[in-house]
Amino acid sequence: MSALEDTFATFIARQTGASDATVVSFDKLSGGAIQDNFGLTLDLEGGNRPGRHEFVVRQDAPSGVAESLTRPQEFRVLQAAFGAGVTAPEPLWLCEDPVVTGQVFYVMARAAGSASPRMLVKSEFTDEQRRALVRTFGAELARLHSVRPPDDSLDFLSMPNPDNPALSRVALYRRYLEEIGEPHPVLEWALNWLEDNAPELGPTVLCHCDFRTGNYMISGDRLTAILDWEFAAWSDPCEDLGWLCSRSWRFGADEREVGGIGDKQDLLDGYREVTGASISPARVNYWEVMALVRWAAIALQQARRHMSGEQRSLELALTGRMVAQMEYDLLNQIQELEDGNDQST
Amino acid sequence: MINRPETRDLLAEARQVLFDSLVPELGGERKYEALMIANAMGMAIREQEQKEAGEPESTDVMLSRFLAGHVLPEDPGQGEQTLARALRERVVDGGDRELREVLRAMTETRLKVNNPGYLK
């Protein structure tokens, strides 16, 4: 038994009051440059959770540079989402004492299934299964968006521009571009468009901000968990809907607007069934454009990490070369919206 | 100085060996890495071909012509820098048809190297 799995097992035994915790399996899970995720299956004896349990332990990687939420903040967001009825991994215990492993970590329940985008997009779902899945996505986001400020447990999340969260994002991405220090005329042009076409102020809600194909688990045709909550923020509900529908996250299945899985109208219908309120497709279109700019800015930051020598990586280098795709999509999508020919509305 | 076979030929052959002999032997993370290497080599080959065809220069000429007509180029050697700043400062109208053509040409020139399959 490695020291780390022993430490986690002992921590969980203490939390549950178990007299003994036997490690059945322990493995490092893929994904996450800032966090390490470990799968841990334990047989617990006694206490308030006797029997076999599958957990995920999430902690900062030793070299982690956190521009996103800290692990304790992420844990609190997960608690808020889970409490609102969102299909998220159940957050169990947070350990903020660095003496235990040297890093802050938390434990959550492990969800079944796969998050692999390529596998999911190639799945031979029936039309009915696709509709049901995409409606579920809408309903999940609607439940998440029922969490609204002020919320004392989420007081670390900053409030966006009170006049318009979209303009807060435009200012943020302009700052990112300045920091990157390379000229990107298409992104500057798109940011101007986003500033000029900002929708009227909507509600400010808790947004996941990275809910896309690849960041949720599917088992069979069922959603089992929405993952990766480190970018959660107060924002416009359509930020989440637009991100999920962005052309960047369809993984080759471009005709299926919602993450390469299904149709936007089903997503919006699923959302409406929970909230009772209709979302304007035009607002989602706007936030899809925002999503392309955001992903381009993030890709440029990732390439910068490679080029600066901070983290030499072929994957990061190639991500930088993907920016032309986002720029191409921006040129096409803005043109389509202006022409009123957008097929997705 | 003559140094043959040429770089492009070397890269193309190396990439072919990678695809034909190595990739089929690999799985999981190693296969993913091999495909990334092939992708990077493909870009290097296409970039060289594009340079030989003079395509980046013709896009630069298009950009310079636009800047000369719409913006006073303080630094003509840094065309994209000048255009990015002009857009940030709102000196150029975002709806200008010629601007759109320049932006599209620059993007497509890059995409032909980075991922030609993405062009519709």
Residue A245 CA to residue A288 CA, distance in Å, equals 7
Interface touch B107/A328, C-beta < 8 Å: yes
Average pLDDT over residues A151-165: 90
Residues B36, A321: C-beta atoms closer than 8 Å: no
| Interatomic CA distance for residues A342 and A243, integer angstroms | 17
Tell me whether residues A324 and B107 touch, CB distance under 8 A: yes
CA distance linking residue A182 with residue A160, whole number of Å: 27
- In angstroms, what separates the C-alpha of B117 from chain A's closest C-alpha? 10
**Dihedral angle over CA of A260, A116, A324, A316, nearest 10:** 170
Q: Which pLDDT belongs to residue A344?
A: 46
What pLDDT shows up at residue A341? 57
Say whether residue A29 is in contact with chain B using an 8 A CB cutoff: no
Quote the pLDDT of residue A67: 63
CA distance A310 to A257: 36
Q: How far is B79 from chain A (nearest CA, A)?
A: 9
Tokens 């519709």 correspond to what residue?
B120
Cβ proximity of A36 and A28 under 8 Å: yes
Q: Which residue has the higher pLDDT, B76 or A226?
A: A226
Residue A149 CB coordination number (10 Å): 14
Q: Quick one: tokens of A234?
A: 């107060």
Mean pLDDT of A140-149: 97
Q: What is the mean pLDDT of residues A19-28?
A: 95
Would you state the structure tokens that stand for residue B97, as one six-digit string?
């048809």
Give Cβ neighbours of residue B14 (< 8 Å, ≥ 6 apart): B41
Mean pLDDT, residues A307-335:
96
Single-letter amino acid, residue A44: L
Nearest-Cα distance to chain B for A189, in Å, is 6
User: What are the extents of the domains in chain B?
Assistant: 7-52, 56-113
Q: Give the helix, strand, coil percentages of chain A, each rounded to 5.
A: 45, 15, 35
Q: Give me the mean pLDDT over the B81-110 stretch.
A: 95
Can you give the pLDDT at residue A208?
97
Tokens at residue A246, please?
């962005």
Tell me whether residues A318 and B85 touch, CB distance under 8 A.
no
Distance CA B25, CA B30 (A): 10
ipTM: 0.94
Q: Kindly report, residue by residue over B3-41, the tens digit of the pLDDT.
A: 999 999 999 999 999 999 999 999 988 999 999 999 999
pLDDT of residue A126: 95
Mean pLDDT within A100-113: 92
Cβ atoms within 10 Å, residue B91: 13
Query: What is residue B99's predicted lDDT score, i.e. its pLDDT?
Result: 96
Token pair 């940011």 is found at A191
10 Å Cβ neighbour count for A203? 13
What confidence tens digit (pLDDT) does each residue in A196-244 have? 999 998 899 999 999 999 999 999 999 999 999 999 999 999 999 999 9
* The predicted structure's pLDDT at residue A36: 86
Percent of chain B clearing pLDDT 70 (strictly above): 95
Residue whose tokens read 């020598």 = A309
Whole-number Å distance between alpha carbons of B37 and B31: 10
From chain A residues 147-206, the ones with a CB under 8 A of any chain B CB are 174, 183-186, 188-189, 192-193, 196
Edge-to-edge order in the sheet of strand A51-60? A20-29, A35-45, A51-60, A105-109, A91-95
pLDDT per position as a tens digit, A159-204: 888 878 899 999 999 999 999 999 999 999 999 999 999 999 889 9
Q: What is the pLDDT of residue A1?
A: 47
Which of A199, A303, A293 has the alpha carbon at shortest distance from A243?
Answer: A293
Do the bridges between strand A20-29 and strand A35-45 make them parallel or antiparallel, or are there none, so unpaired?
antiparallel
Which residues in A lie closer than 8 A to residue B99 (C-beta atoms)? 189
Q: Does the structure show a pLDDT above 70 at A33?
A: no
Examine the pLDDT at A51 and tell me if it is beyond 70: yes
CB A72 within 8 A of CB A41: no
In the predicted model, is pLDDT for residue B42 greater than 90? yes
Closest to B114 (Cβ–Cβ): which among A314, A321, A332? A321
Q: Which helix (H) or strand (E) holds A36?
A: strand A35-45
pLDDT of residue B78: 73
Write down the pLDDT at residue B77. 57
> Which band of pLDDT confidence, cut at 50, 70 and 90, is reported for residue A136?
very high
As a whole number, mean pLDDT of residues B99-108 equals 97
pLDDT at A62 over 80: no
Beta strands A51-60 and A205-207 are unpaired
CB A38 within 8 A of CB A26: yes
- By CA distance, what is B63's nearest residue in A? A185
Cα–Cα separations (whole angstroms), residue A50 to A14, A16, A22, A119: 13, 8, 11, 35
Contacts of A325 in chain B (CB under 8 A): 111, 114-115, 118
Neighbour count for residue A197 (Cβ, 10 Å): 15
In this model, does residue A345 exceed pLDDT 50? no
Q: Residue A251: how many CA atoms within 13 Å on its side-chain side?
A: 18
Arithmetic mean of pLDDT, A25-32: 83
Query: Are A208 and A230 contacting, i.e. CB atoms less than 8 angstroms apart?
Result: no
Chain B residues near any Cβ of chain A (below 8 Å): 33, 36-37, 39-40, 43, 78, 80-81, 83-85, 87-88, 90, 94, 99-100, 103-104, 106-108, 110-111, 113-115, 118-120
Whether residue A132 has pLDDT greater than 90:
yes
- For the segment A309-322, what is each residue's pLDDT rounded down to a tens digit? 998 999 999 999 99
* pLDDT value for A171: 95
Q: What domains are defined for chain A?
A: 3-109 (3.30.200.20), 117-339 (3.90.1200.10)
Q: Do B83 and A314 touch (CB under 8 A)?
A: no
Q: What is the mean pLDDT of residues A64-85?
A: 87
Q: Under DSSP, is residue A90 helix (H, G, I), strand (E, B) or coil?
A: coil
Nearest CA in chain B to A31: B29
Please give the radius of gyration of chain A, using alpha carbons only, rounded to the nearest integer: 21
**A176-192: burial string, b at 16+ Cβ within 10 Å, e else:** bbeeeeebbbbbbbbbb
B111/chain A closest Cα distance in angstroms? 6
| Percent helix / strand / coil, chain B, rounded to 5 | 80, 0, 20
Query: Which of B87, B96, B100, B113 is the best substitution to test chain A (most A C-beta atoms within 10 A)?
Result: B87
Q: Which of A15-29, B42-56, B72-86 has the lowest mean pLDDT?
A: B72-86
CA distances from residue A9 to A25, A93, B89 in whole angstroms, order as listed: 11, 12, 57
pLDDT of A63 reads: 54
The percent of residues above 70 in pLDDT, for chain A, comes to 95
